[in-house]
């Protein structure tokens, strides 16, 4: 009964006659039982320590997962709060217009006679730059803010276990942003360039200004401003802004896909 609380239930039974049997018989029997009992205790202790180590490891892993979940929740919240690009008070042609008011009149005339494409003054180059500038004005500070958030979180010891997630999130968004800028620049170059080539009336009107005395540059610039402010070009700019919004949404989708739980 004294041994039952210790979990020892399968007992060996030995008989010993103190008057006739060799004392070594009972001594060997007891030594064997003690060895067996120790073996049982050793096995139980090993099981207990193994379970304890497993419990501690699972607890540590759960702590790590909790830190990662907290970091993911913060980054996901940022993406939700910045889902829409900032509204703009700028236009794609502003870089080109700035160049026109500074360029030499001979350069402007040479460009007009080549329908906007000359080495010293390229409409498509400035329109591509202008389109990229719109994207930067709309999203540049937002992306910078995300990088700052990632650096702040990475420098916080509480998020040490989430370093890989934070660094990967920053790399993904920056790469997606650069791809967005590239696509927007290409669209600015190609869509407006094609429209300019098809509108021979603009070039004829600008070319006709040559030889009409001082103010050639201003008159050509005025014709260009009217052309860009016309409804068809406004639609092109709206398409450009729509591209920025779509690509930004795709960039955030790539970012938040990092935080989705694995199946």
Is the same domain home to 54 and 106?
no
CB atoms within 10 A of CB 12: 8
Would 72 be classed as within a structural domain? no
- Range(s) of the domain holding residue 238: 82-257
Considering only 121-135, 142-156, 199-213, 247-261, which range has the smallest mean pLDDT? Answer: 247-261
Q: Which two tokens stand for residue 15?
A: 């008989």
Task: Find where tokens 């501690």 sit.
Answer: 56
Instruction: Give the pLDDT of residue 55.
Output: 42
Is the same domain home to 206 and 160?
yes
Mean pLDDT in residue range 145-174: 92
Is the same domain home to 24 and 143?
no
Is the same domain home to 46 and 142?
no
Is the same domain home to 50 and 140?
no
Q: What is the dihedral of CA 71, 77, 83, 85, to 10 degrees?
A: -80
Would 262 be classed as within a structural domain? no
Task: Find where tokens 């909790």 sit.
Answer: 66
Is the same domain home to 163 and 94?
yes
Read off the pTM.
Answer: 0.75
Would 125 be classed as within a structural domain? yes
Is the same domain home to 39 and 116?
no
Is the same domain home to 180 and 104?
yes
Would 223 be classed as within a structural domain? yes
Whole-number Å distance between alpha carbons of 132 and 185: 5
Provide the number of structural domains found in the chain: 2
Would 147 be classed as within a structural domain? yes
Instruction: Give the pLDDT of residue 50.
Output: 58
Mean pLDDT in residue range 81-97: 93
Answer whether residue 157 shows pLDDT above 80: yes
Would 198 be classed as within a structural domain? yes
Contacts of 219 (CB under 8 A, 6+ apart): 209, 212
Instruction: Give the pLDDT of residue 205.
Output: 94
Answer whether residue 54 shows pLDDT above 60: no
Band of residue 75 on the pLDDT scale cut at 50, 70, 90:
very high
Is the same domain home to 218 and 104?
yes
Is the same domain home to 41 and 88?
no
Per-residue burial over 222-239, b = 16 or more CB atoms within 10 Å of its CB, e = otherwise: ebbeebbeeeebeebbee
Instruction: Give the pLDDT of residue 261.
Output: 60
Among residues 27, 59, 91, the one where a domain terminates is 59
Would 100 be classed as within a structural domain? yes
Contacts of 59 (CB under 8 A, 6+ apart): none
Mean pLDDT in residue range 82-99: 93
Nearest alpha-carbon partner for 247 in 179, 191, 200 = 179
Is the same domain home to 37 and 160?
no
Band of residue 59 on the pLDDT scale cut at 50, 70, 90:
low
CB 250 within 8 Å of CB 176: yes
Answer whether residue 235 shows pLDDT above 80: yes
Instruction: Give the pLDDT of residue 43.
Output: 72
Band of residue 223 on the pLDDT scale cut at 50, 70, 90:
very high
Is the same domain home to 93 and 218?
yes
Band of residue 32 on the pLDDT scale cut at 50, 70, 90:
confident
Cα→Cα distances 89→3, 134, 230, Å: 88, 9, 17
Instruction: Give the pLDDT of residue 53.
Output: 54
- Average pLDDT taken over every residue of the chain: 87
Would 77 be classed as within a structural domain? no
Q: Is the dihedral of CA 75, 77, 78, 80 positive or negative?
A: positive
């Amino acid at each position: 009964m004294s041994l039952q609380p210790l979990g020892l239930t399968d007992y060996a039974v030995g008989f010993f006659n103190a008057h006739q049997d060799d004392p070594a018989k009972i001594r060997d029997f007891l030594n064997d039982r003690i060895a067996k009992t120790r073996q049982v205790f050793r096995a139980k202790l090993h099981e207990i320590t193994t379970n304890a180590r497993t419990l501690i490891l699972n607890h540590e892993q759960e702590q790590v997962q909790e830190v990662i979940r907290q970091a993911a929740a913060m980054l996901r919240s940022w993406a939700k709060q910045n889902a829409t690009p900032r509204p703009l008070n700028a236009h794609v042609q502003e870089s080109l217009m700035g160049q026109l008011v500074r360029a030499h009149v001979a350069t402007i005339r040479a460009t007009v006679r080549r329908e906007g494409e000359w080495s010293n003054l390229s409409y498509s180059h400035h329109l591509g730059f202008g389109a990229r500038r719109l994207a930067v004005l709309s999203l540049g500070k937002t992306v910078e803010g995300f990088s700052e958030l990632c650096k702040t979180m990475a420098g916080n010891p509480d998020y040490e276990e989430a370093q890989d997630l934070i660094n990967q999130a920053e790399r993904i968004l920056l790469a997606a942003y650069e791809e967005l800028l590239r696509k927007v620049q290409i669209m600015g170059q190609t869509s407006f360039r094609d429209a300019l080539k098809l509108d021979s009336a603009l070039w004829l009107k600008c070319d006709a200004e040559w030889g009409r005395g001082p103010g050639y540059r201003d008159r050509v610039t005025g014709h260009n401003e009217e052309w860009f402010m016309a409804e068809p070009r406004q639609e092109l700019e709206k398409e450009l802004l729509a591209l920025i919004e779509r690509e930004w949404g795709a960039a955030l989708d790539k970012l938040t896909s990092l935080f989705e739980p694995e199946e």
